[in-house]
Amino acid sequence: MGDYHFVYKDVEGTSTQWDDIQRKLGNLPPKPAPFKPPAWTPAEEDDGLKPKNRDWIDSKTQEELEDLEDDRDLDDDRFLEEYRKKRLAEMMESARKPRFGSVIPIVGPEFVREVSQAPPDIWVLVLLYKEGIPECVILLRCLEELATKYPATKFVKIISTDCIPNYPDRNLPTLLVYNNSNVKANYVGLHHFGSHRCTPEAVALTLCQSDPVLNDSQSGKDSSKENVIERVRKGFIEKVIAQHEEDDDEYASD
């Protein structure tokens, strides 16, 4: 009768005393390491687990909002479904509006077409300037930054005497605000925006004191005066914090 050894196998990764003796004698390969499952980490919330509220809807693109039309959860929540429709309508409306995004140079003969005859729902900012005047350079830089942030507002610049013959240089820069063919406001000189301390945020806050001149409707969000001012203030705070962090990094590297 053959020599049989009964070997009892325990939980994976463990062995009997007999196995241990055989390994010491070199008759068995080294014991494999016990299996350990990977450490558990909470999975990122997928879209189905995120709470469905206004912020969730605000994060959606136009195409995603259209796809949510048959979402049963929204069908059961009348408020959210109405809010989805509102956001979708806002996005579709903003997509139909002209996009600008830069300060457009114009000449005298173009003024009526580009400014006076602009659509009634478009705000137009007209910078009267001349080359070589430092104050004009400062304001133009601010307007160029604002033009990229508020592409639904039209920004143009024109040499002052090309727009108004004999317009005095001492009044430069001058900023005219047009809407629906009418001048809604005019700012003569840089002092309205903080003089040489002029910043894009200062210009934005001044412009929006009376009307929602600046419009970023590419996002489909409310462009009321209060909301524009709040976004400008938030952007200013973020810029100050970023500048402070850059200064700290430079100091630490010295």
178-208 pLDDT, tens digit each: 999 899 999 999 999 999 999 998 898 898 8
Higher-pLDDT residue of 127 and 74 is 127
pLDDT tens column, 42-90: 444 445 556 677 777 777 776 777 676 666 666 556 777 777 778 777 7
pLDDT of 248 reads 58
Q: Are residues 154 and 232 in the same domain?
A: yes
Q: Are 186 and 175 in contact (CB under 8 A)?
A: yes
Specify if 42 maps to a domain. Answer: no
Q: Are 183 and 177 in contact (CB under 8 A)?
A: yes
Is 30 inside a domain boundary? no
HSE of 52, CA atoms in CB hemisphere, 13 A: 18
Domain for residue 182, yes or no? Answer: yes
How far apart CA 66 and CA 93 sit, in angstroms, is 14
Within a domain: 78: yes
Do 115 and 75 fall into the same domain? no
In the predicted model, what is the mean pLDDT of residues 139-166? 94
Read out DSSP for 120-179?
A: TT-EEEEEEE-TT-HHHHHHHHHHHHHHHH-TTSEEEEEEHHHHSTT--GGG-SEEEEEE
Residue 52: per-residue pLDDT: 72
Residue 60, in any domain of the structure: yes
pTM of the model: 0.57
DSSP 8-state assignment for residue 230 = H
Residue 211, domain extent: 103-237
What pLDDT is stored for residue 64 in this prediction?
A: 75
Residue 121 lies in a domain: yes
201, 219: one domain: yes
Same domain as 159, residue 124: yes
Residues 113 and 152 in one domain: yes
Domain count, the chain: 2
Judged against a pLDDT cut of 80, whether residue 96 lies above it is answered with: no
**Contact by Cβ (8 Å): 227, 234:** no
Query: Is residue 21 situated within a structural domain?
Result: no
pLDDT at 89: 78
CA atoms within 13 A on the CB side of 35: 3
The model's confidence at residue 131, banded by pLDDT at 50, 70 and 90, is very high
User: Does residue 251 lie in a domain region?
Assistant: no
